[in-house]
Structure 1
Amino acid sequence: MVRGVCLRSFLLACSVTGFSLMDQRRDAEDERGLNKAILEMLHIDKVSVSHQVKPHPYMRRIYQHLDSLEAQDSGRSDGMLVQSFRSVDRPHHGPQGWIWFNVSSLNPSMLGAELVLFRKTLNPRPLSVTITLHSVISSEETLNESAALEERQLTLDQRPSSGYDVFDVSAVLSAKPLELLGFQLRYTDESGSLVLHEALTQSLYCLNRGSLREPLLVLYQTHPIQL
């Protein structure tokens, strides 16, 4: 008798759980249907939540640094204007092997800029390579390449403490880019011979659009912040 009561109780609990799961699925389907109807009303095919919901890890470090500066100087009320741009697809008329940014919403008061690249690999041997950073500004199907912005030697068995290689690219702002801005790294090895830049850049840095650590262009109203 007791066994029969327990069995009925178990079956009843299972049926209640089953109905609850069915209700949850039905609610989720109704919500998806409502969302789809709203999107259709707005003539939107689909919405991509994408990686931009989460801040770039480097930007989190900047926010924390600015917060600490404000805490030290509570009298500052004006704050500091900072803009950041994630990498975009290569324009149809742009060369391959460049890292592109759409800066059409660039604030004209910006004075400093830095290119932030996450170093994703380490070489087990203490190899060094010299890199030269170049930029190009794209406007109306034309490309204007700059002189080298910076030359630096990388030791490939050591990663920066932050994990990022940061290049001061403030000089590009003097050219007043209106839309697309591209950057390219060129390499020479210890013998002084040129190394294929695109393949080496892809092996050294995280370039995947959609990754939290994709290339980032950060602009400041003053000179770049030293983290």
Structure 2
Amino acid sequence: MLVFLLLCSVTGLLLMDHRKDAEDDQELNKAILEMLHIDKLSASHQSKPHPYMRRIYHRLDSLEAPDFGGSDGTLVQSFRSVVAGPHRAPPGWIWFNVSSLNPSMLVAELVLFRKTLHPRPISVTVTLHSVTGSLGAQTESPALEERLLTLDQRPSSGYDVFDVSTVLAEKPLGVVGFQLRYTDESGSLVLHEALTQSLYCLNRGALSEPLLVLYQAPPPRA
């Protein structure tokens, strides 16, 4: 009985020490972030960080701020794709609800995980288009970006990242949608949802679903 009581006492002390260490680490991490003036946000429905966001957070945490007093830090906000767009929205678009967007955001990126590779060095020209809308009215923008994709090579990060900062000029911005259009052999732009679905992971709730990442300042680079 005496040995049992001693073991319980030692175990209790060890658990208290672990809890204290964890609390100390949490306070230290919080103090470091406050010192670096880094504030990181993600959409409220996200239970786990998106794999791409984990990379962004790691880069932010590894940045060295030589002047803590003069550093404004970097505010990052991310939105995962939603199932459907606004009322009467065109089908075949990748939609994001950005109604909780921080107005200080200056840079926006559409992040798509490239999920397949073609066995031969085939290239395809893709043009990215966007739709913005609120209260049932949508406005389609001119092409945001045109890019040549090589289908037998995946980007080093695994993601195709498109600069979509121009959508931030629309006010108010409640919903934004994106669509990829491809150039056929005659040079005409065509819609090809099957190609988009075969190239990218578009399933909402998947590990690498589409992501819209916004920055208050130019994003950190590897």
Structure 2 length normalisation: TM-score?
Answer: 0.74
Match status 1:54 vs 2:48:
yes
1:33 counterpart residue number: none
CA contact 1:110–1:221 (8 Å) conserved in 2: yes
Q: Which runs of at least 4 in structure 1 moved beyond 6 Å after TM superposition?
A: none
C-alpha distance in 2, partners of 1:162/1:87?
20
Matched residues in 2 for 1:109 and 1:102: separation?
A: 17
Shift in Å, 1:224: 3.4
Tell me the distance in 1 between the aligned counterparts of 2:94 and 2:168.
Answer: 17
In structure 2, relative to structure 1, the CA distance for the partners of 1:174 and 1:65 (3 Å cut) is same
Answer yes or no: is the 8 Å Cα contact 1:100–1:180 preserved in 2.
yes
The residue that corresponds to 2:209 in the other structure is: 214
* Alignment match, 1:68: 62
Task: Quote the Cα distance in structure 2 between the aligned partners of 1:189 and 1:96.
Answer: 21
Distance 1:105 1:185 in 2: 25
How far did residue 195 of structure 1 move?
Answer: 4.2
Q: Which runs of structure 2 are paired with 1:86-125 in the superposition (5 Å)? A: 86-91=80-85, 92-125=87-120
Q: CA RMSD in A?
A: 1.6
2:140 corresponds to: 145
Displacement of 1:74 in angstroms is 4.8
Rg bigger for which structure? 1
Q: Which residue of structure 1 lines up, in the alignment, with residue 6 of structure 2?
A: none
User: Could you report, residue by residue, the CA deviation over 1:38-63 in whole angstroms, capped at 9, with x for unpaired residues?
Assistant: xxxxxxxxxxxxx8221000000000
Q: 1: CA distance between counterparts of 2:173 and 2:202?
A: 23
- Taking the TM superposition and a 5 Å limit, the aligned residue runs for 1:77-226 are 77-91=71-85, 92-226=87-221
Q: Once the 2 structures are TM-superposed, how far is the Cα of residue 167 of structure 1 from its aligned partner?
A: 0.3
Q: What letter is aligned with 1:150?
A: E
- Name the CA shift for 1:152/1:199 in 2 (closer, same or farther; >3 Å): same
Partners of 2:131 and 2:141 within 8 A in 1: yes
Aligned length: 175
Q: Between Structure 1 and Structure 2, which shows a larger proportion of helix residues?
A: 1
Any unmatched runs of 5+ in structure 1?
A: 1-50
Percentage of matched positions with identical amino acids: 77
1-structure distance, mates of 2:93, 2:102: 23
